[in-house]
Structure 1
Amino acid sequence: MKSLAITVWGMMALPGCRPGEDGEGIALVRSLPLSDQQKLCLEKMVDTFLPDTDTLGAVQLNIHRFLDKLIANCYPEEEQKSFINGLDILEGKAQDLFSKSFGSLENLQRESVLLGLDNEENAEEKAFFDFSKEQVILAYTSSEYFLTNFTNYEMIPGGYDGCVDVPEVPFKV
């Protein structure tokens, strides 16, 4: 019986251990295919939504990395492409307004670019802004830092009493 369990476990685990076509191991958690400029744009966008104050900001909590993994692994390919396209649009807006990349703008300039997307009549640009803001807030409010410092979150709520007498209650029909 033990050998059967080990065999079944091995059959499930080993396919993920074999190398891919390029000789590298197959990653169980993927990342979006972002350029360095797009990664910086994502990081600065997250920082603009939730900057460091007297509390930790989104960048210190690695929300940008979380969003990269979340979108790459939990959203369909079409939405992934739409998100990457949104980062390119954000970069283009920064170039149009300030002749600089979004990653090199000051905080107030980044805010004005993002607010421009929020007020945009183009549905795709507005959808990117809304989706990004929603995901940043979701990621931040799901973080251990937020849950342990700003809510009454308990990792294991209540106590456990294993042996408790249960009073008999007469069954009535």
Structure 2
Amino acid sequence: MNRRTALRTFLYIAGGTLVLPACFRESGKASIDLTNLSISEDDEHLLAEVTETLIPATDTPGGKELLLHLFVLKMVDDCHTPEEQKQFTKGLSAFSVWSKQELGTGFTIADANSRTELLGKIGESTDEDLKQFFSITKRRTTQGYLNSQYVMTNLVKYELVPGRYNGYAPA
């Protein structure tokens, strides 16, 4: 056996052993690391569907494609107070239960029109955790969309400061 071939084979095996654990993700946990929130995989999917309902995919990418649910989770985890984080997680679980009661099925299974109508009914609810959850989710989803790479590169026309000179502008 050639020494170079043996070394190459050893490096392939070593590289595969390092990469292989990254291919398997523990089921039941969120796909990003959060320090202050404990979100399950089902909660993450539910939040993805909520962001997709808030910003649906048309000729532009929607909430799921832009991974806005991950942005919402990261912002809540990093930038909100512990009380707001508790309200968010309570509101997320309350939203899951409430949507099953209102729709008869899960939020992720319902059609787009039913989802939109359900999100419109949140204001009528008496549950403060549910309202706070939706308020945070809506605000952070909008922020994530407006600051996404797609919007900043394709939709916003940026011009460096001070901009171009316009000699005809009124004084």
Secondary structure (helix, strand or coil) at the match of 1:104 reads coil
2:55 to 41, 45, 50: 50
1:130 to 135, 142, 150: 135
Q: Is the contact made by 1:32 and 1:80 (CA closer than 8 Å) also made in structure 2?
A: yes
Q: Describe the shift of the 1:113–1:150 C-alpha distance in structure 2 as closer, same or farther (beyond 3 A).
A: same
1:148 aligns to what?
153
2:90 aligns to what?
85
TM value normalised by structure 2: 0.67
Shift in Å, 1:119: 3.2
Q: Whole-Å Cα distance in 2 between the matches of residues 46 and 35 of structure 1? A: 17
The share of aligned pairs that are identical, in percent, is: 27
Q: Which amino acid aligns with 1:55?
A: T
TM value normalised by structure 1: 0.67
Instruction: For residues 143-167 of structure 1, give each alpha carbon's deviation from its aligned partner in whole angstroms, at most 9, with x where no partner exists.
Output: 111111111236xx36xxxxxxxxx
The aligned length equals: 131
2:75 aligns to what?
70
Q: Whole-Å Cα distance in 2 between the matches of residues 49 and 107 of structure 1? A: 10
Shift in Å, 1:110: 1.4
Q: Whole-Å Cα distance in 1 between the matches of residues 36 and 91 of structure 2? A: 17
Q: Whole-Å Cα distance in 1 between the matches of residues 63 and 40 of structure 2? A: 21
1:32 to 6, 31, 37: 37
2:123 aligns to what?
118
RMSD between superposed Cα atoms in Å: 2.4
Q: Is the contact made by 1:51 and 1:58 (CA closer than 8 Å) also made in structure 2?
A: yes
Of structures 1 and 2, the one scoring higher in RCO (CA 8 A, sep 6+) is 2
Instruction: For residues 112-136 of structure 1, give each alpha carbon's deviation from its aligned partner in whole angstroms, at most 9, with x where no partner exists.
Output: 2211113334444333322221111
Q: Which runs of 5+ in 1 are unaligned?
A: 1-26, 159-173
